[in-house]
Structure 1
Amino acid sequence: MFFTYLRRELRRRRKAALVVASGLALGIALVIVVSSVSTGMSRAQDKVLESLYGLGTDMAVTKAAAAPGSGSGRPKFEFDAKGDDDATQSSDRVMVQGFQTLASSTVSRIGGQKGVAGAVGGLGLNVMKVDGQFKRGEFKQDEGAGQGGRSGPGGQGGTGQPQGEVMGGGASFDVNSYTVYGTDVAEQGIGPLTSSKITDGRTFKTSETDAKVAVVDSAYAKEKKLGVGKSVTVHGTTFTIVGVSTADSGDAAANLYVPLKQAQTLAGSKDKITTVYVKAADSQQIDQVKATIQKNVPGTTVTTSADLADTVSGSLSTASDLAAGVGKWLSIVVLAAAFLVAGLLTSSAVSRRVREFGTLKALGWKSGRVTRQVVGEALVNGLLGGVLGIGIGLAGAYAVTAISPTLTAQLGGAGGGMGGGRFLGGQGGPGRAAASKTLDIALTAPVSFSVILIAVALAVAGGLIAGGFGGWRASRLRPADALRRVE
């Protein structure tokens, strides 16, 4: 009887049911689109940040560089004056990049803190290499020397010195600056190298902790015409290239990756690191782990991905703020309006059915049964609105993904970097300072199953709210009063 009457009333009042369902559908569709776009923004931002600190890394621990003293930080190059005049001269300097060094024991110390699932150390280096040659100039004597009494014996002036000038000569040098990153090959699941994929050759083996092997970034390899099997010399040490890596997005962490021990040897920094990459056991407790490390390992700076997110600007940041702020409140306002309109329309429909409900009560229907009937109709309207809203929302999210609007993300060079990609933090050494970098990110709008569940819950809630309005109105009707009113 309940479902028979429900079906009949919905068919009889199709237009009113469609209006209520459409209002709820609009609000639910907006929630789905805004939620999916927000998820897309978050993924886009994560993609940008992964190029800075690497996959699997929740935070990085560094120690700010000391204030530079007089003449500090300036590399000095010395060239041998012996040998042929035109002999090629070459000299390079390896400098620790950006931060003060930490003891390697800091890794195990941080790894033992509560909430830390893993920790690994790394050493960032900047190499400056100068190549070139000096050319001796040629002395050219004045043609008029020794004439007119203006020169002494032998064609010399009154001072007894040859008269003339040096022609040609000088120096031509090329300065090449690149970055080298020492990675712990025994723990390759955390750190900046994880944000790149091997596109040629292989990555490091766990047994190559002190081997003279290297992985080169694809952009640098193309620039210097390097490849798998070729060799590269860093400060007198020759490394064999075993792999070529390509950054997933943004700049690679370094031009060249070598085992950590080899990097320490190159820099003369035995058992030293610049960065500790940390993975939290629970991503929801990153802030707590950060506070614990800062408390128990004094003198260090802990930077999380949330801290780095504040350095991302451009249209990605603006759109993310709009989706998180304006989109959120717009969804709430539209939903509230849709629920209110649905409730008012249902209540209005009840008022037009006063005579009908009065008749039903006179025939023996209890107030609770009338209320359930009204709530049932409103709930069906809500579910219908939910189906329409999910369909419209999925179509909107698909349209965003199909169009894939391009957003720009500008990575500022200032403010506590993770010490990974581009060695951010404003402490970049010569040749690779932490200058701002602009990336283009394609926006997608993925719809998760949880968003669908939220949409269904909203549809049910809308129906119940609308039914609550109408049911309350219907329950107050008295049969005698209702029969006296004309529809």
Structure 2
Amino acid sequence: MFFTYLRRELRRRRKAALVVASGLALGIALVIVVSSVSSGMKQAQGKVLESLYGLGTDMTVTKAADPSEEGSGRPRFKFDAKGEEGEEQSSDRVMVQGFQTLASSTVAEVGEQDGVADAVGGLSLQVMKVDGRFKQGEFEQAPGGSGGRAQPPGGGTDQQQGEVRGGGADFDVDSYSVYGTDVGKPALGPLTSSKISKGRTFTGTEANSKVAVADASYAKEKKLAVGDTVTISGTKIRVVGIATPDSGGAAANLYVPLKRAQALADAKNKITTVYVKAADSQQIGAVKSAIQKNISGTTVTTSADLADTVSGSLSTASDLASSVGKWLSIAVLVAAFLVAGLLTSSAVSRRVREFGTLKALGWKSGQVTRQVVGEAVVNGLVGGVLGIAVGLGGAYAVTAISPTLTAELGSGGGLSGGGLMRAGGPGGPGEALGQSASKALDISLTAPVSTTTIALAVGLAVAGGLIAGAFGGWRASRLRPADALRRVE
């Protein structure tokens, strides 16, 4: 009889039920959209961090800045002309990023710390290449004399009056980043954030080979293909693969074996970076403390620290989704629950004659209350279904549009989630991995909907129905048959 009466009453009061369900649906839909967008923000931020430091990076360890060394190691470039006039001149210089390095033994020191599962070194380089020609000027004599090749005015028996015109130099300067990675441990390092789209990656036997993997964007810009060669400081390096970053920001333009990078930079047994895999990602704080305590002159930056340095529209949108969006969702939900409760209570006040009659026929107050609560719960479930449908539609719309957000990572180091950390020299965390830390990354926003979000929506729908039913049930339970029958609906 309960379900029969419930079905009849809901059909008879369809408009009122739809109003209550719609109010709950609005709040639930907003919660789903905000939760999905917030989840998308976290994924986008994770992509930014992964693109800079490889999959699973949790922290970076950098050499503490030494004020006494500030301004030292400034780059100098000496260029001497050679050959005949107009002949192509070409020279390049390989410099260590940040101009300071750590000893290769640091890798073993970090690996011995409690909580560290594995460690691997890397060397970040910057190559400055200059190509061009010199042109000698022409000496133009004053009127009455004869012109010719530029020479000292006093070179003849009679001093010639005139000036040198023309000449000079036309040079193209190209700067690109090279990263030396340990080919013996391919699971660690910045190359793990990229996928080999053409060719192959390094093999374990190429520890000092003249091979390279090129970033896809750099390869496109320089028209490089698998099998082509690039010349770095007079050494010809063969491209064996093309790597495409997972989220648009490569750690370097070219990757080469670590020993080959050390030879190119004349930095034997030197590194700028140590990538470390933590045994337990939940113990990052303890690992950080151990490294700082036992390896002097280092500064450790965790993933949370790096996330704080991410700025741009991604950071702004993330703040809005996590703070404004959360409180807006709560406010709408509270309003929806209150409105549903008030509407249900109002509906009960209009049904006093009906409930009075039921009580006169033998219904107990508990039965009347259950009837009102049952109707409200059904309204809540209907609102939940509508809210989930609207929320899924909103999340799908965000994913389909995929608005582009810009993320900029401040220099100062960083990493991303999973179980890795990195150690490097000054200029290392922000600079040692090349251009990624100094340029903006464009990330497409998605709004993934998880099963947890759906379960939350169902729970809110039931809670909304129970709250509304509690209002109406309490009102109905207080009715007395004699009083109710004296009132006209």
Whether TM-score is above 0.5 comes out as yes
What corresponds to 2:459 in structure 1?
A: 457
Q: Say if 1:32 and 1:390, in contact at 8 Å, map to a contact too.
A: yes
Partner letter of residue 123 of structure 1?
L
- Once the two structures are superposed, residues 241-262 of structure 1 have per-residue CA deviations (whole angstroms, 9 ceiling, x without a partner) of 1112233333421121111122
Of the candidates 467, 470, 478, which is equivalent to residue 468 of structure 1?
Answer: 470
What corresponds to 1:9 in structure 2?
A: 9
CA distance in 2, matches of 1:461, 1:296: 53
CA distance in 2, matches of 1:217, 1:434: 12
Superposition deviation, residue 180 in structure 1: 1.0
* The 10-residue stretch of structure 1 (380-389 or 358-367) with the greater mean CA deviation from structure 2: 358-367
CA distance in 2, matches of 1:70, 1:12: 83
The change in CA–CA distance for 1:410 and 1:396 in structure 2 (over 3 A counts) is closer
The change in CA–CA distance for 1:136 and 1:106 in structure 2 (over 3 A counts) is same
Q: Say if 2:63 and 2:299, in contact at 8 Å, map to a contact too.
A: yes
CA distance in 1, matches of 2:332, 2:477: 29
CA distance in 2, matches of 1:170, 1:472: 95
**Seq. identity, %:** 74
Q: Could you say what secondary structure the match of 1:57 adopts? A: strand
Q: Could you say what secondary structure the match of 1:326 adopts? A: helix
Q: Say if 1:195 and 1:247, in contact at 8 Å, map to a contact too.
A: yes
Superposition deviation, residue 328 in structure 1: 0.9
Superposition deviation, residue 139 in structure 1: 7.5
Q: Say if 1:425 and 1:434, in contact at 8 Å, map to a contact too.
A: no
Q: Root-mean-square deviation (CA), in Å?
A: 3.4
- Once the two structures are superposed, residues 183-233 of structure 1 have per-residue CA deviations (whole angstroms, 9 ceiling, x without a partner) of 111222232212222222111112322222111223333343432222223
* The 10-residue stretch of structure 1 (24-33 or 301-310) with the greater mean CA deviation from structure 2: 301-310
Q: Could you say what secondary structure the match of 2:57 adopts? A: coil
Q: Say if 1:426 and 1:434, in contact at 8 Å, map to a contact too.
A: no
Superposition deviation, residue 425 in structure 1: 6.5
What corresponds to 2:28 in structure 1?
A: 28
Of the candidates 404, 413, 418, which is equivalent to residue 416 of structure 1?
Answer: 413
**Is 1:226 the equivalent of 2:224?**
yes
Q: Could you say what secondary structure the match of 2:398 adopts? A: helix
Q: Could you say what secondary structure the match of 1:73 adopts? A: coil
Superposition deviation, residue 170 in structure 1: 5.2
CA distance in 2, matches of 1:14, 1:435: 59
The change in CA–CA distance for 1:23 and 1:272 in structure 2 (over 3 A counts) is same
Of the candidates 388, 405, 408, which is equivalent to residue 403 of structure 2?
Answer: 405
The change in CA–CA distance for 1:263 and 1:65 in structure 2 (over 3 A counts) is farther
What corresponds to 1:177 in structure 2?
A: 175
CA distance in 2, matches of 1:238, 1:19: 74
What corresponds to 1:359 in structure 2?
A: 357
Equivalenced residues, count: 471
What corresponds to 2:75 in structure 1?
A: 74
The change in CA–CA distance for 1:166 and 1:13 in structure 2 (over 3 A counts) is closer
Structure with greater contact order relative to length (CA < 8 Å, sep ≥ 6): 2
CA distance in 2, matches of 1:28, 1:467: 18
What corresponds to 1:391 in structure 2?
A: 389
The change in CA–CA distance for 1:4 and 1:433 in structure 2 (over 3 A counts) is closer
Structure 2 residue runs of 5 or longer lacking an equivalent are 146-154, 416-421
Q: Say if 1:354 and 1:477, in contact at 8 Å, map to a contact too.
A: yes
What corresponds to 2:62 in structure 1?
A: 62
Superposition deviation, residue 130 in structure 1: 3.5
Partner letter of residue 181 of structure 1?
Y
Superposition deviation, residue 400 in structure 1: 1.9
CA distance in 1, matches of 2:292, 2:456: 39
Trace 1:281-320 onto structure 2 (pairs within 5 A): 281=279, 283=281, 286-287=284-285, 289-320=287-318
The change in CA–CA distance for 1:281 and 1:27 in structure 2 (over 3 A counts) is farther
- Once the two structures are superposed, residues 129-153 of structure 1 have per-residue CA deviations (whole angstroms, 9 ceiling, x without a partner) of 34456566677888979xxxxxxxx
CA distance in 1, matches of 2:287, 2:322: 26
